[in-house]
Amino acid sequence: MKSRDIFFGLTAGLCLAVVCGQPVQRAAAETGEIHAVLTGDYADPSIVRVGDDFYMTHSSSDYFPGLLIWRSRDLTRWERVGYALHKPVGDVWGPDLVYYKNKFYVYFPAARTVWVVTADRPEGPWSEPVDLELRGIDPGHIATPDGRRYLYVDNGRAVRLADNGLSISGGVRRVYEGWKYPEDWAVEGFYPESPKLVYKDKYYCLTTAEGGTAGPSTSHMVVSARSRNPLGAWKNSPFNPIVHTWSRSEKYWSKGHGTIFSDSAGRWYIVYHGYENGFYALGRNTLIEPIEWTKDGWFKTVRDRQNEGEVRRFGNVSIEADDFSGPSLKLQWQFSGIRGPQDYELKNGALTLNSALGNFRAVHCTVGDHGYEASVRIETGGDVEAGLAAYYSGRMFAGIGIKSGTVVPYAKGTAPAAGKNKNPRVRFLKLRMRDFDLQRFFSEDGKAWTAYPSSVDVAGYNHNVLGGFSSLKLGVFVRGEGQVRVDDFNYRPLY
């Protein structure tokens, strides 16, 4: 299984499109094969096509910057383009990426309201976020053929938008009751959310999520309804649930939160997320598979919906070595616990994180590999502790760090009172992760490494245990009052 995954990841990343792009896309459309295109925590995917290019974004929690935009021409190989959100406004969950009248929009919820940012190009520059003063989550945009614009939110509610899409017009009303699944299904709750809409063949097609995002392996699902009117009445699909995890034996759990879309050749697909079985702590991967339309105008998966079949992994989430010598940070990095650019500095070939008393700050990247080895050089100034960690949150992480010239191991966000190694010459730290078994190392020169005598099991650092809908990222943290200088970051997947 693992060797096959490596083969497909390398193939997707290195081959030319004529070999690995359109042919793979056509083959998937014929066989119904599921593709895991982004491994790691890329939840709540929203996708839009402009010509032959596809763009996608995801939830970004409270990380800064937020709303990372991806681009692809073949749906198998994806590259980072840039961030759409450059101002912290709160936790971002369930965005909707829209292209309408030559402009890009991202509608997203944060701080108990819905916001929107706009741009002429997906690379930006993106506007400042605009508060629509609309309570709800998981917004979904639709425009009618005559130009009326609506925004749906959770619990089947909808509101009219102004023509420019930057404010609401009128009141919110509930227009869809959802699809009632059998009472004996093992789910987290009803939770109708993630309304995404398309207009096709004079029908408005509403795709929603139910069952809860996490919890039981069979919790989440994608359901569909259609109407002649953008505000209903809605008729549920006879093929519901379109996508669902039916048992714990499947490769992906809690599959749900779907959006349907087409390519320029007229083939249709659905994108959604799911937890990889056995790797729950890595968060929700992005999955794409083909759909087909029936003669009477409903859509369904090409495969038997109760037979997951083959899932092919693609190695798009690459993490690069970084000496921080460029004019800007690589797009693989995000921050936690900072207010904006004033809290860090990229200068003289290093990244400096500033920390104030009582703050926990981190710079991290999203990991999709089951095993990896990573190292970094850090230097501290002031009364701070800093380290390299498998990072779930500021309260839950594991790794190795430096505090007052002492090498310190961390587990569950804390360091033991004993067992520390006094060595003020240590500058280099390293982690080795193998299927959630975490080993820790330290070095004075980055060449001769000393293994810390104990390792940590971090498989339980996941949402079902801790809450928070986060994942085990890889990053450098600092807490206390002072600075940490980060340099010479290296990373390699182990398999």
Q: How many CB atoms lie within 10 A of CB 232?
A: 18
In this prediction, residue 341 carries a pLDDT of 86
Q: Is 309 exposed, middle or buried (0-12, 13-18, 19+ CB in 10 A)?
A: middle
Label residue 327 exposed, middle or buried (CB < 10 Å: 0-12, 13-18, 19+).
exposed
Could you give the CA distance from residue 438 to residue 398 in angstroms, rounded to a whole number? 8
Structure tokens at 469: 């809908």
Q: What are phi and psi of 478, to 5 degrees?
A: -145, 140
Cβ within 8 Å of residue 310, ≥6 positions away: 33, 34
Average pLDDT over the chain reads 93
pLDDT, residue 17, reads 38
Judged against a pLDDT cut of 90, whether residue 69 lies above it is answered with yes
- Alpha-carbon distance of 70 to 57, in angstroms, equals 6
Number of residues that make up the chain: 495
Q: What are the tens digits of pLDDT across the range 360-385?
A: 999 999 999 999 999 999 999 999 99
Residue with tokens 């193998």: 434
Give me the pLDDT at residue 358, please.
83
Residue 291 near residue 205, CB atoms below 8 Å: no
Q: How many CB atoms lie within 10 A of CB 414?
A: 13
**Pair 470, 41: CB distance under 8 Å:** yes
Give the confidence band of 3 by pLDDT, cuts at 50, 70, 90.
very low
Do 442 and 344 form a contact (C-beta atoms < 8 A)? no
Give the DSSP letter of residue 464: H
Alpha-carbon gap, residue 477 to 364, rounded angstroms: 8
d(CA 132, CA 128): 13
Would you give the distance in Å from CA 244 to the centre of its chain? Answer: 19
Higher pLDDT, 23 or 250: 250
What pLDDT is attached to residue 422? Answer: 86
Q: How far is CA 314 from the centre of its chain?
A: 15
Token digits for 173? 């009303």
What DSSP state is assigned to residue 127?
P
- Written as six digits, the tokens of 320 are 């690069």
What is the C-alpha separation between 460 and 412, in angstroms, rounded? 10
Retrieve residue 449's tokens: 């490494």
What pLDDT is recorded for position 418?
58
Q: Give the separation between CA 431 and CA 389, rounded to whole angstroms.
A: 8
Structural domains in the chain, CATH included, are 2-313 (2.115.10.20), 334-493 (2.60.120.200)
C-alpha closest to that of 407 among 382, 425, 393: 425
What integer pLDDT is reported at residue 342 of this predicted model? 86
Sequence-ordered list of residues with C-beta below 8 angstroms from that of 27, at least 6 positions apart, any chain: 33
Q: What mean pLDDT is predicted for residues 72-86?
A: 97
Give yes or no for residue 258 having a pLDDT over 50.
Answer: yes
Per DSSP (E only), the strands in 120-251 are 130-131, 140-143, 149-153, 157-161, 168-174, 193-200, 203-210, 221-227, 235-236, 243-244
Q: Of 89, 54, 82, nearest to 68 (Cα)?
A: 82
pLDDT in tens, 186-229: 999 999 999 999 999 999 999 999 999 999 999 999 999 999 99
Q: Give the gyration radius of the chain's Cα atoms.
A: 23
Return the HEC string of 216-238.
CCCCCEEEEEEECCCCCCCEECC
Side-chain half-sphere of 1: how many Cα atoms within 13 Å?
A: 6
Q: What is the pLDDT of residues 436-491, one digit of tens each?
A: 999 999 999 999 999 999 999 999 999 999 999 999 999 999 999 999 999 999 99
* CA distances (Å), origin 193, targets 93, 118, 350: 11, 23, 42
Residue 157 near residue 140 (C-beta atoms within 8 A): no
Q: For residues 409 and 450, what is the distance between their CA atoms, to the nearest angstrom?
A: 13
- pLDDT per residue as tens digits for the range 37-56: 999 999 999 999 999 999 99
Look at strands 34-38 and 311-313 and give their pairing.
parallel
Any idea which residue has 């979904």 for tokens? 140
Residue 80 belongs to what H/E stretch?
A: strand 79-85
| Residue 158: Cβ within 10 Å count | 24
Give the three-state DSSP class for 121.
coil
Stretch 325-334: mean pLDDT: 95
The answer to whether 218 and 212 have CB atoms below 8 angstroms apart is no
Band (339; pLDDT cuts 50, 70, 90): confident
**pLDDT of the residue at 5:** 41
Structure confidence at residue 19 (pLDDT)? 36
